[in-house]
């Protein structure tokens, strides 16, 4: 659901330092919001403070939010803690493999470019018929 950014209420948060948001803002510009923020039905932010702030700084008027019915403060804090602790970063090997795959896709070798050229040429010839 889309929620107006200026209607979201930020209460006392566990995370005090949002860190540098520049790479997150770049990701939002390039890919959009991949994971919605989490708010209560009263628009109190539970999870996604960095995403929210990056979107706000980009001048977004609305943001995708998941609404949960967690009105008691204990549940809200538990959810905020879980959001920030129950994740596993990629290992160094996984990250290296991902960047290697990305590099190969962005900059294919001569043979791959040649076969793509031939494939596209054949497709263009058969589309004309």
Using one digit for the tens of pLDDT, what is the confidence trace for 46-83? 999 999 999 999 999 999 999 998 678 898 889 899 98
Residue 129 confidence (pLDDT): 63
Residues 6+ apart with CB under 8 A from 55: 5, 28, 33, 63
**End-to-end distance of the chain based on CA atoms, in angstroms?**
46
Do 8 and 39 touch, CB atoms closer than 8 A? yes
| More confident site: 112 or 21 | 21
| Residue ranges covered by each domain of the chain | 1-87, 90-129
CATH of 1-87, one of 3.40.50.2300, 3.90.1530.10, 1.20.1430.10, 3.30.70.920: 3.90.1530.10
């Amino acid at each position: 659901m889309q929620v107006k950014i200026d209607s979201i209420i930020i209460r006392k948060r566990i995370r005090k330092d949002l860190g540098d948001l520049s790479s997150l803002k770049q990701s939002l510009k390039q890919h959009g919001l991949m994971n919605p923020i989490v708010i209560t039905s009263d628009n109190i932010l539970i999870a996604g403070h960095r995403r929210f702030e990056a979107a706000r700084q980009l001048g977004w008027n609305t943001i995708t939010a998941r609404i949960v019915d967690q009105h008691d403060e204990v549940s809200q804090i538990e959810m905020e803690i879980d959001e920030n602790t129950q994740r596993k970063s990629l290992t160094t090997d996984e990250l290296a493999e991902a960047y290697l795959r990305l590099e190969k896709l962005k900059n294919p070798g001569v043979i791959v470019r040649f076969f793509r050229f031939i494939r596209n040429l054949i497709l263009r010839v058969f589309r004309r018929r």
